[in-house]
């Protein structure tokens, strides 16, 4: 049978992906621009015997996620920037307790209440410090409806596999635009959780899930264990590249901004400009080694232009990945000013011109 | 093949509905499509627009700086988007709400651009569906470009209306046919 193709918003693709991934609990609090996720989940989950609950605030939603995860549910919440900040205490506890869940952030402009325009301003928050303490999320940044569907479904498997929250980091452009989505069945593994979930201590010793370790050796051990887990997650690194080896400039971008950049890069390549493209799909773990290899691919020093819808965040990860083997440039657009592919082409051409001029 | 279209008008004129419908029909016809609504605190009476891309190849950017086609339903939209229309591009303009002689530097604005006037509002009224001027405009657009067949369009329109608005199909379709008829006369 041919897979069904439907025209949906990016946020709806995320919700369909969650259902495909076996999500059976959703807790959340409304906020623009991601309200289509709870809307769809509120219709679909009860039909499938799942639970949909609109909490009284983001803080309580994330703690409901924590409870459902502890008893073994495949659970998700979604919000947008200010709501995500409210949840961050819960994030830290979820990481500490090693509880799997999927968290969707459809980013909007900030700081504070900001606006409802597209933004990538929560990059640092997502990949560096989702909550207090030394904790990390596995972070996916889809750039199309098909990818949002597949990555969200996969996120449930990976959350269970690593016993760690997984974040889908999206934004208002991808969230609100519509494009065709192929609703195809995916192979999402079910991972056994019987050995750790709190499902009643009948015929077995009681289990404790806790994050307080007053014994300093025990706490250090705990952090080492988590660190090892983050290193294991490097197996999940994904990226997309358009690169042959002798490009002078490599454009680096993620999420919906990468679509605008890709269009510009493809146009320029067609005209013969030496421009490559790199798009991290996992933002944490970051594809550091691949970027380093790109920088070292030829004798000529390369320029890495990092385009972002914020004031320059991922550029720091790119710079540290290439370890001085190339030059890094930040091209940044604060929320609400969206560049067109033509504007991006202009920026790239400017940079090319500069690199061909003799150094003084 | 690649068509880039910006549709613009007052909130309430059905610009987003028409854009969505256009993209859906394009998808049913087997093309790649993207539909990007403006995203902001828009309301009835304010201007509102959306961008539709229909292509036989993958679409990277859903944002378009200089579209090849415009569907313009009111004067503020005309003034806002005509400067962005590609050279040689085509604008379908609602004659009822956009009066040539009310626009300063009209010649300059429309230089090397083809502007086709169709009275979408009055045609929709004639079709007995005054609210369906958006469908009238789509009729004119597809009458001009012949992107998809009537079957495909009917399927997309029925899908868009859903069960709750299925009774509006006839009126909307009449307006669509009026649009085709009008453009064939131009």
Task: Please tell me the predicted confidence (pLDDT) of residue A359.
Answer: 47
Task: Please tell me the predicted confidence (pLDDT) of residue B38.
Answer: 82
Cα dihedral sign for B136, B140, B141, B143? positive
Strands A178-183, A239-242: pairing is unpaired
Which tokens sit at A73?
Answer: 């549910």
> Residue A51 class from Cβ within 10 Å (0-12 exposed, 13-18 middle, 19+ buried)?
middle
User: Is the Cβ–Cβ distance between A172 and A107 less than 8 Å?
Assistant: yes
Residue in this structure with the two tokens 């300063």, named with its chain if needed: B104
Q: What is the pLDDT of residues B108-155, one digit of tens each?
A: 999 999 999 999 999 999 999 999 999 999 999 999 999 999 999 999
DSSP code of A215?
S
- Comparing A297-301, A310-314, B173-177, the range with the smallest average pLDDT is A297-301
Q: What is the pLDDT of residues A85-121, one digit of tens each?
A: 999 999 999 999 999 999 999 999 999 998 888 999 9
Does position A78 have pLDDT exceeding 90, yes or no? yes
Does position A295 have pLDDT exceeding 90, yes or no? yes
Residue A344 pLDDT grade (very low, low, confident, very high; cuts 50, 70, 90): very high
Residue B44 pLDDT grade (very low, low, confident, very high; cuts 50, 70, 90): low
Which part of chain A has CATH 3.40.50.920?
239-356
Q: ipTM for the complex?
A: 0.93
Give mean pLDDT, residues A274-288. 97
Look at residues A303, A175, A286, A309 and name the one whose alpha carbon lies nearest to residue A238: A286
User: Is the Cβ–Cβ distance between A242 and A265 less than 8 Å?
Assistant: yes
User: Is the Cβ–Cβ distance between B84 and B77 less than 8 Å?
Assistant: no
> Looking at the partner chain, which of A177, A259, A262 has a beta carbon nearest the beta carbon of B35?
A177
Does position A325 have pLDDT exceeding 60, yes or no? yes
CATH number at residue B111: 3.40.920.10
Task: Please tell me the predicted confidence (pLDDT) of residue A2.
Answer: 62
pLDDT > 70: what percent of chain B? 96
User: Is the Cβ–Cβ distance between A274 and A243 less than 8 Å?
Assistant: no
Helices (H), B40-168: 75-81, 106-109, 120-126, 133-145, 150-161
Average pLDDT over chain A, rounded to whole? Answer: 95
Mark yes or no for CB contact A260/B23 under 8 Å.
no
Q: What is the pLDDT of residues A42-67, one digit of tens each?
A: 999 999 999 999 999 999 999 999 99
Q: How far from B40 is each of A176, A262, B37, B63, B171, CA to CA, in Å?
A: 11, 25, 9, 15, 30
Q: If you count them, how many residues does chain A have?
A: 360
Q: Is 0.80 surpassed by the pTM of this model?
A: yes
Q: Which CATH topology does A239-356 take?
A: Rossmann fold (3.40.50)
Mark yes or no for CB contact B61/A33 under 8 Å.
no
Does position A12 have pLDDT exceeding 90, yes or no? yes
Residue A147 CA to residue A47 CA, distance in Å, equals 25
Sorted by sequence, the CB contacts under 8 Å of residue A128 that are 6+ apart come out as none
> Residue A356 class from Cβ within 10 Å (0-12 exposed, 13-18 middle, 19+ buried)?
exposed
Number of A to B CB contacts under 8 A, please give it: 65
Residue in this structure with the two tokens 């208002």, named with its chain if needed: A172
Sorted by sequence, the CB contacts under 8 Å of residue A216 that are 6+ apart come out as none
Helix (H) or strand (E) holding A14: helix A10-20
β partners of residue A28:
A54
Strands A282-284, A249-252: pairing is unpaired
Mark yes or no for CB contact B33/A180 under 8 Å.
yes
A264 to chain B: which residues are within 8 Å by CB?
61
Count up the domains in chain B and report the number: 1
Residues spanned by the domain of B31? 2-185
Residue A338 pLDDT grade (very low, low, confident, very high; cuts 50, 70, 90): confident
β partners of residue B60:
none
Does position A135 have pLDDT exceeding 90, yes or no? yes
Residue in this structure with the two tokens 């606006």, named with its chain if needed: A115
Which part of chain A has CATH 3.40.50.970?
4-235
Nearest-Cα distance to chain B for A52, in Å, is 25
Does position A360 have pLDDT exceeding 50, yes or no? no
A147 to chain B: which residues are within 8 Å by CB?
none
Q: Which CATH superfamily is domain A4-235 in?
A: Thiamin diphosphate (ThDP)-binding fold, Pyr/PP domains (3.40.50.970)
Residue B186 pLDDT grade (very low, low, confident, very high; cuts 50, 70, 90): confident
Task: Please tell me the predicted confidence (pLDDT) of residue A196.
Answer: 97
User: Is the Cβ–Cβ distance between A318 and A306 less than 8 Å?
Assistant: yes
Is B162 within 8 Å of chain A by CB? no
Residue A287 pLDDT grade (very low, low, confident, very high; cuts 50, 70, 90): very high
Does position B39 have pLDDT exceeding 80, yes or no? no
């Amino acid at each position: 049978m041919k897979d069904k193709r439907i025209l949906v918003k990016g946020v709806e693709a995320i919700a369909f992906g969650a259902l495909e991934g076996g999500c059976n609990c959703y807790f959340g609090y409304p906020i623009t621009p991601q309200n289509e996720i709870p809307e769809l989940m509120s219709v679909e989950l009860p039909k499938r015997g799942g639970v949909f609950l609109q909490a009284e605030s983001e803080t309580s939603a994330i703690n409901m996620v924590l409870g459902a995860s502890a008893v073994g549910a495949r659970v998700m919440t979604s919000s947008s920037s200010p709501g995500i900040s409210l949840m961050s205490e819960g994030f830290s506890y979820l990481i500490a307790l090693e509880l799997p869940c999927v968290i969707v952030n459809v980013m909007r402009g900030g700081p504070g209440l900001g606006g409802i325009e597209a933004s990538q301003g929560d990059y640092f928050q997502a990949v560096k410090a989702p909550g207090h303490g030394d904790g990390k999320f596995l972070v996916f940044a889809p750039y199309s409806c098909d990818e949002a569907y597949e990555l969200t479904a996969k996120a449930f498997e990976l959350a269970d596999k690593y016993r760690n929250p997984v974040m889908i980091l999206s934004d208002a452009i991808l969230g609100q635009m519509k494009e065709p989505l192929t609703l195809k069945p995916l192979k999402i593994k079910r991972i056994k959780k019987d050995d750790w979930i709190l499902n009643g201590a009948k015929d077995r010793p009681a289990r404790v899930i806790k994050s307080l370790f007053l014994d300093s050796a025990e706490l250090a051990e705990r952090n080492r264990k988590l660190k090892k887990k983050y290193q294991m997650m490097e197996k999940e690194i994904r990226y997309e590249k358009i690169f042959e080896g002798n490009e002078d400039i490599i454009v680096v971008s993620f999420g919906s901004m990468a679509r605008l950049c890709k269009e510009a890069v493809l146009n320029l390549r067609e005209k013969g400009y030496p421009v490559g493209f790199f798009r991290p799909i996992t933002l944490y773990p970051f594809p550091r080694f691949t970027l380093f290899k790109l920088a070292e691919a030829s004798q000529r020093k390369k320029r890495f232009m990092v385009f972002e819808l914020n004031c320059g965040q991922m550029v720091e990860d790119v710079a540290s990945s290439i370890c001085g083997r190339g030059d890094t440039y930040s091209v940044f657009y604060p929320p609400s000013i969206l560049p067109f592919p033509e504007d991006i082409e202009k920026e790239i051409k400017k940079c090319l011109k500069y690199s061909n001029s003799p150094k003084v | 093949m690649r068509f880039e279209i910006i549709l613009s008008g007052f909130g309430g004129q059905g610009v987003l509905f028409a854009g969505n419908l256009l993209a859906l029909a394009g998808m049913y016809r087997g093309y790649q499509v993207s539909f990007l609504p403006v995203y902001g605190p828009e309301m009835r009476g304010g201007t509102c627009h959306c961008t539709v891309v229909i292509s036989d190849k993958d679409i990277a950017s859903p944002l378009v700086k200089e579209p090849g086609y415009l569907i313009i339903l009111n004067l503020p939209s005309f003034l806002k988007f005509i400067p962005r229309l590609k050279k040689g591009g085509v604008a379908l303009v609602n004659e009822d709400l956009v009066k040539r002689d009310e626009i300063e530097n009209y010649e300059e604005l429309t230089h090397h651009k083809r502007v086709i006037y169709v009275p979408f509002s009055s045609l929709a009224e004639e079709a007995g569906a005054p609210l369906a001027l958006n469908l009238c405009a789509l009729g004119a657009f597809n009458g001009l470009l012949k992107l998809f067949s009537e079957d495909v369009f009917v399927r997309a329109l029925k899908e868009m209306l859903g069960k709750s608005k299925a009774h509006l199909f006839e009126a909307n379709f009449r307006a669509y046919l009026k649009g085709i008829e009008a453009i064939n006369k131009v």
